[in-house]
Structure 1
Amino acid sequence: MKSNQSIVIERLQQAQNAHDLEVLLACFAPNFQGNHPLYPERGFKGIEDVPKNWSVIFHNIPDFHSQLFRLAVEGDTTGAEWYWFGTHRDGSQFGMRGVPILGIQADQIEWARLYMEPV
């Protein structure tokens, strides 16, 4: 049986690969908080930045694709190893790989610590 956390991650990946902002947004709690420990200036509070960030990604990388390698769940904390890739509109390659640590409760992501780096 799948955990609620793995179901949320599956929905997130499907939304990313379908470029579906509505479904993607439903994966996040209204009070979502995201931070990038290596880049503190990229952090944000509130769900408002989620569709802004992803709409820019989907626009600038029309063939954006998300691949999930591994998933680890401990209580309400989830670690997921991702590879995000595609081609920028100018033809250059896009690739990021890393492990966001996510707090998932009530079928939504409440917080994230993103450890994603370009490859």
Structure 2
Amino acid sequence: MEAAINAHDIDAFVNCFANDFVGEQPVHPKRNVTGAEQVRKNWTGIFAQVPDLQAKLVAHTIAGDMGWSEWHWQGKHINSTEFNMRGVVVVGLRENTIAWARLYMEPVQSGSNAIL
């Protein structure tokens, strides 16, 4: 998946997902996704809006049919604003594809050092 993102290879990326994939973003429920074709549509848009997008898989583990990964995604939007997100993705695996995922990706805060 990391190589597919970094190559902006939408076909290789979408092949990571089951056709009936269900993606949830628990802190942003309006961003939930159903189906590999919706993944294709969303990520085609991301690649178009962030043409230099690069992903770094910081850490990952797989146990049985579940996986956990920590990601850092960076680039610049076509309007030159920064795209910089970090977070964790929890996935359910089925037949070498991602059947479901819960994404906890958030923009990296710049500026203040305050926790609150």
TM-score (norm 1): 0.88
Give, in angstroms, the shift of residue 47 of structure 1.
Answer: 1.6
2:36 pairs, out of 35, 42, 47, with 47
What's the counterpart of residue 9 of structure 1?
Answer: none
% same residue: 44
The structure with the largest helix share of the pair is 1
**CA RMSD of superposed structures (Å):** 0.8
What's the counterpart of residue 55 of structure 2?
Answer: 66
What's the counterpart of residue 113 of structure 2?
Answer: none
Give, in angstroms, the shift of residue 84 of structure 1.
Answer: 0.3
Aligned length: 108
What's the counterpart of residue 15 of structure 2?
Answer: 26
TM-score (norm 2): 0.90
Q: Which runs of 5+ in 2 are unaligned?
A: 109-116
- The answer as to 2:79 corresponding to 1:82 is no
Distance between the aligned counterparts of 2:30 and 2:50, measured in 1?
Answer: 23
Q: SS of the residue aligned with 1:90?
A: coil
Give, in angstroms, the shift of residue 77 of structure 1.
Answer: 0.6
Deviations 1:12-47 (A, max 9, x none): 111100000111111100110000011111112222
What's the counterpart of residue 111 of structure 2?
Answer: none
Q: Which amino acid aligns with 1:54?
A: W
Q: Which amino acid aligns with 1:81?
A: E
